């Protein structure tokens, strides 16, 4: 969960440091458990599902934009779990509910959290829906993240979304140099980072260095990502397997 998504949760945890960079986790336990289960990639989707339903129940106890932001993140996380296990239809359904919850949040109050939630869920819908959908809606992902940065210039989550466009877009729309520079700007700048934010930045850098065949540099960022989530199979098996 991006810190920009949880200012409203009023629960701050201590800062933690991995490989020189620091994140501050501000999630309540019920939400952190769901997030970490998804990123750890130890449990199967059906095993994560009870954590998802429990988190949604707790999110429903909140009110206003806070409730919708929490629900949007729950859906996003469960969508990620389904997507990893190639359960496309279930993932799309989660991301659509997450997108709708983010819209409800923004209708109540415009926050950086709401724009990040909307952007995150839409970005994944663009990867799973027909190409025509991605063509028509893809640019909105960055626009929503820019809206979040206007409201919270320190949002590491929003900055990561914008930088990811240069890393993960297909050729000729990606830009390795911009991707690397913008990801490193996040680490060097005064951005608010959650545990998953730091992992996502490290993973993006590993991915782009593998693409340009700089295996030594890729190994550095793979190791950094695994220092955050040691059991993550995408990094530990798929990316490391390309070294």
> Residue ranges per domain, the chain?
1-11+23-155, 174-243
What is the pLDDT at residue 54? 98
Please tell me the predicted confidence (pLDDT) of residue 19.
Answer: 42
Can you tell me the distance from the alpha carbon of 120 to that of 125, in angstroms, rounded to the nearest whole number? Answer: 9
Residue 202 has phi, psi (to 5 degrees) of -60, -45
The structure's pTM equals 0.90
- pLDDT (tens digit, 9 = 90+) per residue, 93-124? 999 999 999 999 999 999 999 999 999 999 99
pLDDT of residue 27: 83
Burial 104-120 (b: 16+ CB within 10 A, else e): bbbeeeebbbbbbbbbb
Among 164, 88, 89, residue whose Cα is nearest residue 119: 164
197-217 per-position pLDDT tens digit: 999 999 999 999 999 999 999
Distance, in Å, from the CA atom of 71 to the CA atom of 57, rounded to the nearest integer, reads 9
124 token code pair:
């994944």
pLDDT of residue 21: 66
Enumerate residue ranges in the chain where pLDDT < 70: 1-23
**pLDDT value of residue 234:** 96
């Amino acid at each position: 969960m991006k810190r920009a998504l949880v200012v409203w949760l009023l629960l701050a945890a201590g800062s933690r440091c991995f490989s020189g960079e620091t994140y501050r986790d501000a999630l309540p336990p019920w939400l952190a458990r769901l997030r970490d289960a998804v990123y750890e990639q130890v449990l199967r989707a059906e095993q994560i599902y009870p954590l998802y339903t429990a988190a949604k129940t707790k999110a429903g106890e909140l009110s206003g934009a806070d409730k919708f932001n929490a629900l949007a993140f729950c859906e996003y996380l469960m969508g990620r779990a389904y997507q990893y296990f190639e359960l496309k239809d279930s993932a799309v359904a989660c991301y659509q509910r997450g997108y709708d919850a983010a819209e409800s949040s923004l209708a109540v109050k415009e926050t950086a959290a709401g724009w990040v939630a909307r952007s995150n869920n839409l970005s994944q819908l663009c990867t799973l829906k027909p190409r025509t959908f991605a063509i028509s809606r893809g640019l909105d992902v960055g626009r929503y993240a820019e809206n979040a940065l206007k409201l919270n210039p320190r949002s590491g989550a929003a900055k990561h979304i914008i930088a990811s466009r240069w890393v993960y877009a297909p050729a000729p729309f990606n830009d390795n140099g911009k991707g690397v520079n913008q990801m490193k700007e996040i680490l060097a700048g005064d951005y608010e980072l959650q545990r998953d934010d730091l992992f996502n930045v490290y993973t993006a850098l590993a991915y782009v260095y593998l693409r340009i065949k700089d295996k030594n540099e890729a190994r550095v960022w793979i190791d950094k990502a695994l220092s955050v989530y040691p059991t993550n199979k995408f990094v530990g098996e798929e990316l490391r397997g390309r070294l």
